[in-house]
Structure 1
Amino acid sequence: MAALFHDTLFAYSLRLAFGSRVLPHPDETDLPMVWQNAVHEKDVLPESDASSVRTIVEEVRSSPASRSTASLQSAKTVVEPAPAKLDVTEKGSDLLLVGWYGPTDQDNPLNWSISKKTWVMFQTCLLTFTVYIGSSIYTAGIEDVSQEFHVSTVAATVGLTLFVAGYGLGPMVWSPMSELPQVGRMPIYILTLAMFVILQVPTALATNYGMLMAFRFLTGFFGSPILATGGATIADLYVPKKRAYGITLWGVFATSAPALGPLVGGFAAHAKGWRWTIWELMWLSSFTLVLLFFFYPETSAANILYRRAARLRKATGNPNLKSQGEIDVANMSPRDVAIDVLVRPFALNFQEPIVLVLNVYIGLIYALLYIWFESFPIVFIGIYHFKPQLLGLAFIGVLIGAFLVMPPFFAYLYYYQEPKYNVNGELKPEERMPVAIVGALLVPIVMFWFGWTSRADVHWIVPIIGSGLFSIAALLLFNAVLNYLADAYPAYAASVLAGNDLIRSMFGAAFPLFAGAMYRNLGVGWASTLLGLLACSFVPIPILLYKYGEKIRMSSKRARHDYD
């Protein structure tokens, strides 16, 4: 049970109040054994340095209370064969690099038990669902907002647009911050979620249109980190060979949330008005906040090692014990840090052709999702005469499609893709593209199917079945693209994924504003055909990346080149 609370915000709070005796780390309970495991003598050490290392271990082993700072500082070089203990930083330096205590170190998220990883994955997916549902749950009350504040339906829809724009801009700040060793991911997730919960109150109590719009943007902004950094969190937990499974599950929750929003909010808006859709969002996010406070651990290796180095410095009195993240940041000026946090995501997005093209493509898919959802009232209320509070049931096809695609896709990953990994457990990013090609072909098919079967003489189940195919296409595309970006730019994963979230959110924010007018003026069939033709124009992108992506990647200074 202690493992469930370890390195959570709850554990940090207890340790702050009662000291390190609460939920202690191994280096706080058995320092001699930690040093014995961490310091590895090799023949390559000069005899003088080897002797220094022996002195350190013997002194700490014999009496933790009488550690000799002078002896620790005298060991200029500590050699260790695996990258997972104390290792050499650079010859002649007094710094000692703090790493993992062996390849099976249980503090390393990659070594956590299956049950702990599953528990963390569930919380990550729940947080993603909680924020994503905040966009579409509002749509159930758009007509009510329009009537109460005496604005047009388009103006009321801006509440959806600003929320989506907020969670597109937010990760450009929050995601790079989560990469800083001193910060980590967990505090960003929980503190911004706390703001997300608090801001629901003035949103639900808004007394005028401007106040409502302002707080919708702010809630989206503060709720946003998980939407981009969630992929990096999954990369913290799983080796590349297994990461696609986690990304797929994460994608199911991300796709399901906008689909379930109108259903969850529909009955509340019909019975109590639009404000109750916001209260529902506050209740859900409050539950998620409490759960994460007690049970969500830090997953960033850089932050875990940063805190380990701090504990070892305190225990030994040796200021030269540093984590790699500390060393890297120490060599950076405040200007460099600011550039990393604020500028790098934009630079990667617009200076890397692969990143820009894939982000625009995913932005298009995201825009199609939101603009297409705007057609559902026209189709299922206007053509099939669903009751307004039951409109959300029309989105069930999207939800079912997302779950149906998982078993065959997992089989594809296991039997086809995993054997292509090299001996180092790595896969060329371009090998992600075959499933993206399938998804790209499905998108226009869905648009044509939905548009030309949405007629009174065709049963309503037919367009709903077509909508299920869209979630299949979206999951395949999102999985391929997010994994491709993480594989091709591993050193900048959080920043690259933040840029992806920005572009897709900007597309998703803008398109719903003209969706209703387009469907009313062109008709459902021709409007969907227009979207289908637009989707057709992007089909060559994954095909070209599969064929020429490696050559383009090799020409980039930021992309990884050393895949076998």
Structure 2
Amino acid sequence: MASPLYRQPTRSEIIELAMQENHDADIPTNAGSICPKTSPDPFPSPEKGHNLSTAVLEKDVEKGSPLESLSSDDEEGTGAGEVENPNIVFWDGPDDPQNPLNWPFTKKWGTVLIVSAITFLTPLASSMFAPGVPQVMKTFGSKDDMLEGFMVSIYVLGFACGPMIIAPLSEMYGRLPLYHSCNMFFIIFTIAAAVATNMGMFITFRFFMGCFGGAPLVLGGGTIADLISREQRGTAMVVWMMGPTLGPCVGPIIGGFLTEAKGWRWNFWFVTIVAGAFAIISILLMSETSAPVILERKARRLRESTGNDKFRSKLDTGLCASDLFRFSIVRPIKMLTRSAICAAMSVYVAITYAYLYVLFTTFTAVFSNQYHWRGGVLGLSFLGLGVGSLVGQFVFTRYGNKIANKHITRGDFEPEHRLYIMAGGGFFLPIGLFWYGWSVQAQLHWMVPIVGTGVIGFGLLMTFMPANTYLVDVFTVHAASAMAANTVLRSLAAAFIPLSSQKMYQKLGYGWGNSLLGFVSLLLVPIPFLFIKYGKGLRARSTVKL
């Protein structure tokens, strides 16, 4: 059952793969895991009650560790190295057809396309009906400005809650059951939103749409990492990441014309039809890709067929359900409250992300009041934001990586080098807010504020992307927990901050209202500069424990 000798994975490979799978690197990937041993048994089993948390919690999470090759299992890792114990179950050689990396080309890339399509649809649903908000308010007989924004932003609150449960469940049961069950529940609650008869029902169903719609955002990166080799993974990851970037901006463009033609409920019927088609395709064509789950099933079959209870998966660390849930929920909270780096970056990202939903919830009112746009044309008001976000993603990918790679080549790379592009890009957000606000206030040609929103979209991406990569480089083994902390805070901010946006514009006008947002974002601009100067020293003095 043991596999032949394999190349020992490097520490950086294990961390990178774990990050793409949305969990910390002390939970196994198909490359192994990085975790200190707390018992002499290198392959503990759940029946023994083995618990890794005590040792893991003693590590300082901000000091990190060098990205070096793991030379043996008695260092900080359990990789796919040489296996001598005949009871250890691993792949049957490098060409084992059960290994998702060895699946046929069409099966691998077909799965990637399905996952990317689902990942595009669920963020698209977050804002697709935004142009139809006035119709929804009229249908339910409401004039509450707060509810007008909340019915849009409540979806992203689900993004904060759902993944905290989905992530540990996927470690226990695999990715495929979570894809199928979350797809089904997403469809059910989308239908429920389409037939809702009052505002309370509608908002509740929108929340659960967000909870289950967040599944592909949690699982997609790991699925791609399961299937595609490291050398070829870049293209697939770029395609997959386009969904969260473009989906919320493309959705209202479709929704604007659909609302005009069929009414606001058809936004949800449209999503239901497409999601249903994707669900059927995924049931027919997708297979489990998680290496730890596949190997655990293989070990279980061997235990049942041979009667030998000693068979254990190579990637089994004995983590129980309570460990997985604690790592998924408690660790991010501790990081947010105990780490200055995680807290500061998360606050910066949360405020800027909330601005995105301030715009989503107000574009319809702004362009209908100031420019008298009606019907499907209202959806086009989101176009500038989408184009700006796309340009921002390209610029960061091209130049952010170029800066980091230069220092990596020179051998003097520090995580703070990720922040150089954020330090410059941060100025675009307040500039865009001033531009957009005052051009709308003065009712300049509609193209002027649209370009302003493009500058905002560019500034948003130049904040999100560097902040995320910085957190990954700082926290390494526990990067997924840092990212989860970031996600929770930004989702809460995006759900609740936009609730006051309509009243803000009523009191201050579009010029001073957006200027207020711009001044707040301007106050945040020094954060990357401070970390560039003091971040290394702050990390060296860190005493943050999980």
TM interval, shorter chain, is: 0.7 to 0.9
- Indicate yes or no: 2:164 matched with 1:172: yes
Letter in 2 for 1:339: R
2:472 to 483, 486, 489: 486
SS in 1 for 2:371: coil
Instruction: Report the CA distance between 1:421 and its aligned residue.
Output: 4.0
Equivalent residues in 2 for 1:142-541, closer than 5 Å:
142-154=133-145, 155-178=147-170, 180=171, 182-231=172-221, 249-311=239-301, 313=303, 318-329=308-319, 332=320, 335-412=322-399, 415-421=402-408, 428-455=414-441, 458-541=444-527
Q: In terms of mean alpha carbon deviation, does 550-559 or 395-404 score higher?
A: 550-559
Distance 2:89 2:413 in 1: 29
Distance 1:486 1:117 in 2: 27
Distance 1:258 1:350 in 2: 30
RMSD: 3.7
The 8 Å contact of residues 438 and 473 in structure 1, kept in 2 or not, is answered as no
Structure 1 pair 458/157, CA: closer, same or farther in 2 (3 Å)? closer
Letter in 1 for 2:388: G
In structure 2, the residue matched to 1:87 is 83
Structure 1 pair 118/216, CA: closer, same or farther in 2 (3 Å)? same
Letter in 2 for 1:130: L
Distance 1:546 1:118 in 2: 40
Map Cα deviations across residues 305-337 of structure 1 (whole Å, 9 max, x no partner). Answer: 4334345555665433322543332xx5x6444
The 8 Å contact of residues 383 and 456 in structure 1, kept in 2 or not, is answered as no
Letter in 2 for 1:164: V
Instruction: Report the CA distance between 1:174 and its aligned residue.
Output: 1.4
Q: TM-score by structure 2 length?
A: 0.76
In structure 1, the residue matched to 2:54 is none
The 8 Å contact of residues 84 and 103 in structure 1, kept in 2 or not, is answered as no
Structure 1 pair 350/244, CA: closer, same or farther in 2 (3 Å)? farther
Q: In terms of mean alpha carbon deviation, does 432-441 or 247-256 score higher?
A: 247-256
In structure 2, the residue matched to 1:10 is none
Compare CA radii of gyration and give the structure with the larger one. 1
Distance 1:208 1:417 in 2: 52
In structure 2, the residue matched to 1:4 is none
Structure 1 pair 189/449, CA: closer, same or farther in 2 (3 Å)? same
SS in 1 for 2:426: helix
Structure 1 pair 121/532, CA: closer, same or farther in 2 (3 Å)? farther
Distance 1:170 1:85 in 2: 35
In structure 2, the residue matched to 1:27 is none
Query: 5+ unaligned residues in a row in structure 2: which ranges?
Result: 7-41, 44-70
Distance 1:321 1:80 in 2: 22
Distance 2:471 2:97 in 1: 28
The 8 Å contact of residues 439 and 449 in structure 2, kept in 1 or not, is answered as yes
Structure 1 pair 541/123, CA: closer, same or farther in 2 (3 Å)? farther
Distance 2:155 2:448 in 1: 32
- Indicate yes or no: 2:114 matched with 1:123: yes
Structure 1 pair 112/466, CA: closer, same or farther in 2 (3 Å)? farther
SS in 1 for 2:312: strand
Map Cα deviations across residues 47-79 of structure 1 (whole Å, 9 max, x no partner). Answer: xxxxxxxxxxxxxxxxxxxxxxxxxxxxx99x9
Structure 1 pair 242/422, CA: closer, same or farther in 2 (3 Å)? farther
Instruction: Report the CA distance between 1:195 and its aligned residue.
Output: 0.6
The 8 Å contact of residues 197 and 285 in structure 1, kept in 2 or not, is answered as yes
Structure 1 pair 451/119, CA: closer, same or farther in 2 (3 Å)? farther
Letter in 2 for 1:309: A
Map Cα deviations across residues 220-274 of structure 1 (whole Å, 9 max, x no partner). Answer: 2222233345455566567889877766554432132221222222223223332
Letter in 1 for 2:114: Q
In structure 2, the residue matched to 1:544 is 530
Query: 5+ unaligned residues in a row in structure 1: which ranges?
Result: 1-33, 41-75, 89-93, 560-564
Map Cα deviations across residues 502-549 of structure 1 (whole Å, 9 max, x no partner). Answer: 211111111221111212321111111111111111112222233333
Instruction: Report the CA distance between 1:284 and its aligned residue.
Output: 2.4
Map Cα deviations across residues 419-439 of structure 1 (whole Å, 9 max, x no partner). Answer: 544799x97533322232233
Distance 2:154 2:177 in 1: 25
- Indicate yes or no: 2:4 matched with 1:38: yes
SS in 1 for 2:318: helix
Distance 2:434 2:96 in 1: 53
The 8 Å contact of residues 127 and 288 in structure 1, kept in 2 or not, is answered as yes
SS in 1 for 2:434: helix
Letter in 1 for 2:456: F
The 8 Å contact of residues 130 and 288 in structure 1, kept in 2 or not, is answered as no
Structure 1 pair 458/207, CA: closer, same or farther in 2 (3 Å)? closer
Q: TM-score by structure 1 length?
A: 0.74
Q: Which has the higher contact order (CA 8 A, sep 6+)?
A: 2
Q: In terms of mean alpha carbon deviation, does 382-391 or 402-411 score higher?
A: 402-411
Structure 1 pair 515/408, CA: closer, same or farther in 2 (3 Å)? closer
Map Cα deviations across residues 10-54 of structure 1 (whole Å, 9 max, x no partner). Answer: xxxxxxxxxxxxxxxxxxxxxxxx75x5269xxxxxxxxxxxxxx
Distance 1:258 1:295 in 2: 27
Distance 1:232 1:126 in 2: 15
The 8 Å contact of residues 259 and 375 in structure 2, kept in 1 or not, is answered as no
SS in 1 for 2:316: helix
- The percentage of counterpart residues that share the same residue type is 34
Corresponding pairs, count? 478
Letter in 1 for 2:535: G
